[in-house]
Amino acid sequence: MTKTRRTAILALAAACLCLALAACNMTGRPVTTTQPTVPATEPFLPSESFPASDFASEPGTMEGFTAEGGTNESTRPVAVNPAGFPSREILRGSPDPAAGTYTGLKPLPARPLSIADPNNSKGFPTKKVEHAFGVAENEAPHRISVDFQNFFESKRYAAVAYDTRSAGKVLYLTFDCGYENGNTAKILDVLKAKKVPAAFFCTVDEMKGAPEIVARMINEGHIVGNHSVTHPSFAEIGRTRMAEEVLGADNFLRRNFGYSAPFFRFPMGEYNESALDAVASLGFTSVFWSAAYADWDVNAQKGAQYALDTVLARIHPGAILLLHSISSDNAAAMADIIDGARTMGYAFHELTDLPQLRS
C-alpha cells in the first residue's frame, strides 16, 4: 500500500469516528421550550500547559487520587445547610509581606486531589446538560431560568441560577475569566470607583497569565471563583478528573494567593447530575446565571451602547448576571451598566449574600 493511499484511509477513518462521536453527544436539556435560547459561553484559549506540581497536594501527585473510603479532606462528607449547600466561607491567609504570594497573604494548605465515590456508584445521571437561561423580559426571569432553578431545588443540588428568595431588587454581578486581554483592569477600576462587588470565575490560565489582576480582585474585596484548570466539559469527564480540575485550581489559589472561595462555575455551562454532586462533595456551590448575552467573541464586539441596552433589558430581581471580562464592550459600558441598574432600583450583592447559602 502506498503512503498516499494509507494516509487517505486513515483520514477517512478519523472522519467517520468524529461523526460517530458527534452523534453520541446529541443530548437534550432538562427543559422543553420553543423559545430560542442564547448561549453564554466563551472559547477557552490556553496559553500553555501546566505541570502537575502546580496543583497537586504534593509535587508529582496529579495521578495520586484516593480510592473510595479514603479519610483525607476531599473524601470526608461535606457539611451542608438544610437546603443542601456547603459552607459559604471564604478563606484567606493572614497578611505577611514575606509570604511569597501575589496577595501578600500566607499560603493556605493544599487539598489532596481526591473525591468520594470516584466511580459514581450511587448512579447519578451522566446525560449531558447545557445550561440555558432564555431572555428575561419586563424584569421577570425567563421560564427557562425558572425551570433550571426549580430543577436544582427539587433535587437538592448545591447549585443556583438566580436568587428566588430576596424580597428586593438584588443583582449579582459575575464574570468569567478564561484568559486576559487587558480589559479586566478597566472593569476593576470602575467597580472600585462605584463600590460594586463582583465575582470573577477564573481558570488557571488567567491566574498564571495575569496574577497581578487576580491579586487585585482579591485585595479589593471581590470573590475569585473556581472555573477549573483547563476548562473542559464536565459532562465528558469522570469524577476523578473533575476533582483534578476543581481542586487543582483551588490549590493554585491556595498556594499562590493564600485564598480559597467555595464557588464553582462549569466551563461552557456543560455538566451532568453526577458533576453537580461531585462538585458539591468537594465543598463548592455551582453558580450558573439567569442573564447574559453573547459578549465573549472579541472579534464581534458591537459597542458600549449595545452592551448597556442589552444588559439592562435582561436583568431581573435576583438575577445572576454573567459577563466576560475579555469584552471591550463590557469594559466601556460598565460604569453606565452600574448606574443604569441602580437607577432601575437594583442593589449589587455578593454571592455570599445568596439566601440559599444562609438557610
pLDDT of 141 reads 97
Give the per-residue pLDDT at 79: 54
Q: pLDDT tens digits for 276-333?
A: 999 999 999 999 999 999 999 999 999 999 999 999 999 999 999 999 999 999 999 9
At residue 85, the pLDDT reads 82
- Contact criterion met (CB below 8 Å) for 144 and 43: no
More confident residue, 222 or 10: 222
- The overall average pLDDT reported for the chain is 83
Q: Is the pLDDT of residue 115 over 70?
A: yes
Q: Is it the case that residue 63 has pLDDT exceeding 80?
A: no
| Greater pLDDT, 252 or 41 | 252
Q: What is the pLDDT of residue 54?
A: 47
- What is the rounded average pLDDT of the residues 10-39? 37
Q: What distance lies between CA 334 and its chain's CA centroid?
A: 21
Digit-coded pLDDT (tens) for 230-244:
999 999 999 999 999
Instruction: Calculate mean pLDDT across residues 136-140.
Output: 95
CA–chain centroid gap for 310, Å, is 22
**With 60 as the cut, is the pLDDT of residue 142 above it?**
yes
**Strand ranges (DSSP E) for the chain?**
91-92, 129-130, 159-160, 170-177, 199-202, 223-226, 259-260, 263-264, 270-271, 285-287, 319-324, 347-349
Q: What is the pLDDT of residue 199?
A: 98
At residue 193, what are phi and psi to the nearest 5 degrees? -65, -35
- The reply to whether 176 belongs to the active site is yes
Mean pLDDT of 64-86: 47
Residue with C-alpha cell 448575552?
A: 293
In this predicted structure, what is the pLDDT of residue 73?
46
pLDDT band at 87 (very low <50, low <70, confident <90, very high): confident
The catalytically annotated residue of 176, 250, 277, 295 is: 176
How far is 95 from 346, CA to CA, in rounded Å?
A: 34
Structural domains in the chain, sorted by start: 96-358 (3.20.20.370)
70: nearest Cα among 124, 122, 112: 112
Residue 132: its pLDDT value, please?
96
Question: How much is the pLDDT for 183?
Answer: 97
pLDDT over 50 (residue 7): no
pLDDT computed for residue 358 by the predictor = 78
Mean pLDDT of 246-274: 98
CA triplet 28, 117, 84: central angle to 5 degrees? 70
261 in Cβ contact with 226 (< 8 Å): yes
Distance of alpha carbon 185 from alpha carbon 180, whole angstroms: 10
Centroid of chain to Cα 100: 27
What is 307-339 written as a DSSP string?
Answer: HHHHHHHH--TTEEEEEETT-HHHHHHHHHHHH
Least confident segment among 12-16, 138-142, 243-247: 12-16
Share of residues in the chain with pLDDT > 90 (%): 74
pLDDT at 359: 62
- Residue in the block written with cell 493564600: 258
Q: Please pick, among 142, 222, 227, 324, the residue that the annotation labels catalytic.
A: 324
Judged against a pLDDT cut of 80, whether residue 59 lies above it is answered with: no
- The full length of the chain comes to 359
Please state, for a pLDDT cut of 70, what percent of the chain lies above it: 76
pTM of the model: 0.81
User: Can you tell me the distance from the alpha carbon of 264 to that of 287, in angstroms, rounded to the nearest whole number?
Assistant: 6
